[in-house]
Amino acid sequence: MRERIRVVAGALFDAAGRVLIAERPAGKHLAGRWEFPGGKIAAGESREQALARELHEELGIVVHGSEPLVSLVHDYAERQVELHLHLVQGWDGNARGLDGQRLKWVPLAELGGEDILEADRPFIDALQRRGPPPDTTSHGAAAAAGD
């Protein structure tokens, strides 16, 4: 039986309605591909707790709230990944790649043209149907992510 990993990712939007994606760093599975930031859910953690912890560790931001958007299971040859995407509703700080990963703010309409992991591709359709949250003005500055 293949290993099953539980993961939560966050969709963060800037004031211009662009969404943040992160490049998987060298040495990690599928390095060089792009994904929505997030990570593994630890034993005993809720999805919201895991998302807040992961985004603080990876991006240096403090999440104030998130809303579940879509969940799915993706099969890779060596593992199965249970993925949950949350729409981040508010945060403090300037997103930056604390794990050495590159970050990029991408217009929602152009997200499909990025080299996004297969497991994350269904999230693009869900986000494009949903659109950015109505209030993105209180979020951290996008410029720190290397537009």
- At 79 the three-state DSSP class reads strand
Model pTM? Answer: 0.87
* Range 3-145 classified under CATH 3.90.79.10: yes
pLDDT in tens, 23-38: 988 778 778 899 999 9
Task: Choose among 50, 134, 43: nearest CA to 85.
Answer: 50
pLDDT in tens, 51-83: 999 999 999 999 999 999 999 998 888 888 899
